[in-house]
Structure 1
Amino acid sequence: MYQFLETTSTGSMLSLVLPMLVLVVFMYLIIYLPQKKQDKKDAAMRNSIEIGDEVTTIGGIVGRVSAIKEDTFVLETGSDRVKIRFRRSAIASVEKLDMGTSKDSKDSAKK
């Protein structure tokens, strides 16, 4: 009879732990992996800025990049050419500077 009680307690322990493990795995797959993928994408975007790119910061300031250092960049805003220094982590979006490298401009340059 004693041995039967041990088996039952082990079975009930497994029935308590198994749903917790399933929940942890589910949370990992649904929350952590997509967030990690988005973080890599954001880091690549922030590292790809170049002088002349139009940048929007997380505070909503829009301007063109005029200088880049290790972890900061200088943003030139408005027609009065105000320059503000920001950290790279403050970038929300980047619009690349188009130097006329599109297919149509190459075709028109050849003619």
Structure 2
Amino acid sequence: MTMIGEFLTIAAASQPTGGGLGFFLPFILMLVFFYIILYIPEKKRKKKYKGMLDSLKVNDEIITKGGILGKVINVQDTFIILETGPSRARIKLDKNGILSILNPSNVEEKEDKKEVKKENKHKEEIKEETKEETKKEVKEEVKKADEESKGVDFKEN
């Protein structure tokens, strides 16, 4: 039996130890993978949510995490006053209880109006350019036709 113990000791001593970077590399790669897949999108979502809460204004229509629909009456640092239902019940609600803004007041409307104005201005510029180009082309064709008709002698029979 002592001979088996000696063989096991020799075999264990002759095997290389698996330490170093090769041992930890799969764990490091898994941590990087989880960071990319889980942490970064969550960070973006939280930033977007915080921006939504910061842009909250009076008369915005919201839905709470509990499913209550209502209109914002007052905005404070951490709380809002929400008016809901046909009886116009008012609820004091923590801002973190807001799920989303359904109908933001004036913010998107103003941005949409600005976009429409820019698009209309751009379309008008294109129309003006097209009109000018058409006028130039017509003038050139008339000039060309005049030059061609100068060389032709019209005789009446």
| TM tier relative to shorter chain | 0.7 to 0.9
Aligned Cα RMSD in Å?
2.5
**Is it true that 1:20 corresponds to 2:27 in the alignment?**
yes
Instruction: Give 1:89's match in structure 2, choosing from 70, 84, 96.
Output: 96
More helix by share: 2
* Corresponding residue SS for 1:79: coil
Instruction: Give 2:83's match in structure 1, choosing from 42, 63, 76.
Output: 76
* Corresponding residue SS for 1:13: coil
TM superposition score normalised by structure 2: 0.57
2:45 is aligned with what amino acid? Q
CA shift, 1:79, in A, is 1.5
How many residue pairs get aligned? The number is 100
Unaligned runs of 5+ in 1: none
**Is it true that 1:38 corresponds to 2:51 in the alignment?**
no
2:57 paired residue number: 50
TM superposition score normalised by structure 1: 0.79
CA shift, 1:47, in A, is 1.1
* Corresponding residue SS for 2:19: helix
Q: Distance in 2 between matches of 1:18 and 1:60?
A: 46
CA shift, 1:16, in A, is 2.2
Please identify the structure whose Cα radius of gyration is greater. 2
Q: Distance in 1 between matches of 2:39 and 2:24?
A: 21
2:130 paired residue number: none
More strand by share: 1
* Corresponding residue SS for 2:59: coil
Which structure's relative contact order is higher, taking Cα pairs within 8 Å and 6+ residues apart? 1
Q: Distance in 2 between matches of 1:55 and 1:93?
A: 6
